[in-house]
Amino acid sequence: MQTITPDELREEFQEINDYDERLEYIIEFADGLPQMAAEHRVEPNRVQGCVSNVWLVASQRPGESADDSPIVDFEADSDAVITRGLIAIIVALLSGKSAKEILAIDIDGLFTELDLQGHLTRSRSNGLRSMVRRVRELAEAAL
């Protein structure tokens, strides 16, 4: 699974000015997202508010960070390639971080800064907000 920092994502997007190239970059993340096990692709794991099907599960392990909150690992999937890429970026940014670290990262602000939502349809933009909200809920539940 890919990992990326907010600064690395900013750098990548600064180098890509063309909308189609940005979509290709998002799709590359989709291609790198491991396939989710079928038993996790169930209704309780579906992210509400997304037009496409998006599934997200979180697992916890004891905190190995300075803040001593549990480490949260995410597994996700979608049946739509662009949406799969978006959730893959979220997972790459946040999976493996402590719950407190996840909650401290302003993902919505990052995506606004990158003008990511400005290049998405209204329904995809709403879905992106729903995915971020669900990740934050799962991180809060880990505390």
> Does pLDDT of 65 surpass 70?
no
DSSP, collapsed to helix, strand or coil, labels residue 55 as: strand
Q: Which of 9, 50, 110, 142 is catalytic?
A: 50
The residue with greater pLDDT, 68 or 3, is 3
In a domain, 100, yes or no: yes
Please write the tens of the pLDDT for every residue from 71-100. Answer: 999 999 999 999 999 999 999 999 999 999
Asked if 90 and 107 count as a contact pair (C-beta separation under 8 A), the reply is: yes
Q: Residue 112 sits in a domain of what CATH number?
A: 3.90.1010.10
- In the numeric block, the tokens 């491991």 are attached to 34
pLDDT over 80 at 15, yes or no: yes
In a domain, 111, yes or no: yes
Task: Identify whether 127 is part of a domain.
Answer: yes
The tokens 């970026």 sit on which residue?
89
In a domain, residue 96? The reply is: yes
| 1 inside domain | no
Contact by Cβ (8 Å): 33, 88? yes
Domain around 81:
6-142
Q: Is 87 exposed, middle or buried (0-12, 13-18, 19+ CB in 10 A)?
A: buried
Beta bridge partners of 73: 59
Mean predicted confidence (pLDDT) in 57-69: 84
How far is Cα 119 from Cα 125, in angstroms, rounded to an integer? 9
Instruction: Identify whether 51 is a catalytic site residue.
Output: no
Report if residue 116 sits inside a domain.
yes
- DSSP state, residue 42: S
Instruction: Tell me: pLDDT of 1 over 80.
Output: no
User: Does residue 69 lie in a domain region?
Assistant: yes
pLDDT, tens only, 19-60: 889 999 999 999 999 999 999 999 999 999 999 999 999 999
Q: Considering its fold, how many domains does the chain have in total?
A: 1
